[in-house]
Structure 1
Amino acid sequence: MFIKILHTESSPGWGGQENRILNESIGLQKLGAKVYILCQPESKLAEKAREAGIEVFTSPMRKSYDLKAIYNTARLINKLNIDVVNTHSGKDSYIGGFAGKLSKKTPLIVRTRHLALPITSTFSYKYLSDFVVTVSEYVRQYLIQKGIPEKKVFAVPTGIDLEKFNPGKVKGTLKKELGLNQDTPLIATVAVLRKKKGHHILIA
C-alpha cells in the first residue's frame, strides 16, 4: 500500500518554491508514493509537472476564502483518497487546509514555509495544519518565535539532484561560450533580484 500525497500551490509563476515542489514530487514518486499536484490553470508548475509525469489537477484559487475552490478541493481529496495534503502558499494553504478538514477522508495537513520573510498571519500554521515544514532552521526558529508550537515545526532543507551537476554525465559549455580556460574559476548565483538574496554581498 502506497501513500497518496496532494501538493497544492496557488502561485502561477515559477521560482525556487515551485521548483522544490516539483523535485519533491518526483523524488516521492521514486520512493513509491503516489503524488498529485493541484494548482492554478495555466501555471508553470502544471506545465512542468505534466512533463515530468506527475498527475496534475487545476482549479482557480481567487482568494484565501474561495468557497468554490474549497469545495472542489475537498471533493478531489475524497475522490483520490488522499492521505497527506501539502500546502505551500497563502491562498492554497487556506483552501487546502479547510478542504482537508471538511473532507470525509480528513488527511494529514502539512504546511510548508519556503520564504525567510515576515508572515502576515499565523492562522494556517496554528489551526489548519498538523505539521509545518520549513526550508531552513532559521525559518523554523522564526515561526516558533511567532507562536507556532515547536513540536509541530520541522526544518527540511531543499534537496538537490546531484546528477544534474555530475561532470561525468553533464558537459558544461559556459566557459567555452565566455572564452575562458577550463581551469578558470567561475562563480555564479541564480536567484530573483531581491536584496535579501544577497547579490551585493557576492559582488563585494
Structure 2
Amino acid sequence: MNRPLRILHTEAAKGMGGQEIYIFRHMQVMRARGHDVALLCQPDARLATRARDDGFTVHTLRMGGMGRLLRGIWSVSRLVRRERYDVVNTTSRRDALIAAAGARLGGTPLVVRSRHLMSPVNSLLTYTGLPHRVITVSNFVKQLLADRGIPADHIGIVPPMAVSPTGIDAAQEPSWQALQETRSRVRAELGFDEQDIVVGCVAVLREPKGHAELLQAMVPLCKANPRLHLVVVGDGQAVMQRLQATCAEHELQRQVHLLGFRSDASQLMPGFDIFALATHKEASGTVFLEAAQAGLPIVSHRVGGVPEMLVEGSNAILTRLGDSAALTGALRLLVDDPERRRQMGRSGWDWIRSAKRFSPEGHAEATEHYYHQWMKELGHG
C-alpha cells in the first residue's frame, strides 16, 4: 500500500439503504487499512448515527435548495482546507454538487464521484465537470457511463464486498458447520422449525426492487405448501401497503412475514433456505454477495450488474424480467428440492471465499489503487 490518505466521504440521503450500507462498510475497511476516513452527511441521516457510533468523525450539513447549495459549497471549501483531505469522494447528485464544488474550490487533490445506480445520468456536471474521476460498482454501469459520454479511462470499477453475518473481519467468518448452527438459532428466533421452508428477501421497499412481483410468484407456491414462508426485510410505506393488501387478498398473512427495517438484516439471512429478489434494475447488488456468504441459493432476474455478483447455474437461477411463470418455476425448483438448495448454497459459499475482488481486502486494494493512480495522474503522486 502507498501512504495512508485522509479521505472524506459525502452522502445526502437520510435513509439507510444499500448505497448507505455500502459507504459505511467501505469506510470501515479503509480505516482498517490505515486511512483516516471521515463522513459528511445531513444531520438527521441514519448513516450519520451509525458512523458516529462506530467511531468515525462525522461532519453534518443540511442539503437541498439553492441557498443551502451556495452556503454548503463555501462550508465544504473551508472544511477541506482545514482538514487537508487528500480525497473527497461524493455519492449522490445533491452532495456531489456541494461537496465536489467545495472540494475543488478548497484545493483537494482528488475529487471522486461514486456511482452505485444504473438509472440514466441526466446531467454530466457531477461526473465530468466537478469531480476528477468516477468509481462505479460493475462493468455494466461503467459501460452505461461511457455510453453517456464520460471518458472510459476516467472510470474505475470497485465491486461491493461480501460481508459475513459476523461483520467485515475475515478472521471471524464462520465455518460451514457454524453457519448451520447460526441457521438453527435464527430460525428459532423467527419462529420457524426445520420443516418450514423460508424464502427471504432483503431490500428497501421500492417498486424497482420487485417485491410485488416476488409475492405474486409466491402465491401459488404458498397455497400448495402451508409450510412455505416468505420473509421480507425492508421498509417503504407505499410498497408495504401494497404487499399487505396482496397478503389479505390471498389470505397469506400466516405465511408472509413483513418485518420492516432491521439493522441486523444480514444476520437474519442464514435463517433462510432461499434468497429471492425480483429486482427490475440493479447496478450490482451487495445483497447477493451477502446471500452467498449466508450459504443460500439465489433466485433473481438477469438484469444490470446482477450476473456479475453471482455464478448463474451454480449458486443462482436467473430469469428474464417480466416472465412471471419462469420466476415461479425457479422458486418451485428450489422449494421442492432440498438437496439442490444445499448444493447451490454450498457452491456459493465456497465461491465467495475464493473471489478476492469481493473480499474486504480486495475492495480496499482496488480503491487504493485508483486513488493513488489518479492522484499521480493529476500531479499529486
TM-score, length of structure 2 as denominator length = 0.50
| Number of the residue aligned with 1:178 | 191
| Number of the residue aligned with 1:56 | 58
The answer as to 2:135 corresponding to 1:133 is yes
Count of residues in Structure 1 that have an aligned counterpart in Structure 2: 202
What is the letter of the counterpart of residue 95 of structure 1? I
**C-alpha deviation, 1:111, in angstroms:** 0.3
Post-superposition Cα deviations, 1:41-74, rounded to whole Å, max 9, x if no partner, equal: 1111110001111110101112377111001111
Structure 2 CA distance for aligned equivalents of residues 189 and 48 of structure 1:
23
5+ residue gaps in structure 1? none
| Number of the residue aligned with 2:85 | 82
| Number of the residue aligned with 1:66 | 69
- Partner of residue 150 from structure 2, selected from 148, 151, 154: 148
Structure 2 CA distance for aligned equivalents of residues 116 and 52 of structure 1:
30
DSSP 3-state at the match of 2:28: helix
Query: In the alignment, is the contact (CA less than 8 A) between 1:63 and 1:91 conserved in 2?
Result: no
What is the letter of the counterpart of residue 7 of structure 2? I
What is the letter of the counterpart of residue 98 of structure 1? A
| Number of the residue aligned with 1:194 | 206
DSSP 3-state at the match of 1:162: coil
DSSP 3-state at the match of 2:202: coil
5+ residue gaps in structure 2? 167-172, 214-277, 279-299, 301-326, 329-381
Aligned-residue CA RMSD (Å): 2.2
- Larger Cα-atom Rg: 2
What is the letter of the counterpart of residue 26 of structure 1? Q
The answer as to 2:108 corresponding to 1:106 is yes
DSSP 3-state at the match of 2:200: coil
Query: In the alignment, is the contact (CA less than 8 A) between 2:37 and 2:56 conserved in 1?
Result: yes
Deviates more, 1:185-194 or 1:91-100: 185-194
- Partner of residue 166 from structure 1, selected from 153, 169, 174: 174
- Partner of residue 24 from structure 1, selected from 26, 30, 40: 26
| Number of the residue aligned with 2:119 | 117
DSSP 3-state at the match of 1:138: helix
- Partner of residue 47 from structure 2, selected from 26, 35, 45: 45
Structure 1 CA distance for aligned equivalents of residues 65 and 19 of structure 2:
19
TM-score, length of structure 1 as denominator length = 0.89
Which structure carries more helix by proportion?
A: 2
Deviates more, 1:128-137 or 1:45-54: 128-137
Deviates more, 1:123-132 or 1:85-94: 123-132
DSSP 3-state at the match of 2:38: strand
**C-alpha deviation, 1:163, in angstroms:** 5.4
**C-alpha deviation, 1:130, in angstroms:** 1.4
DSSP 3-state at the match of 1:21: helix
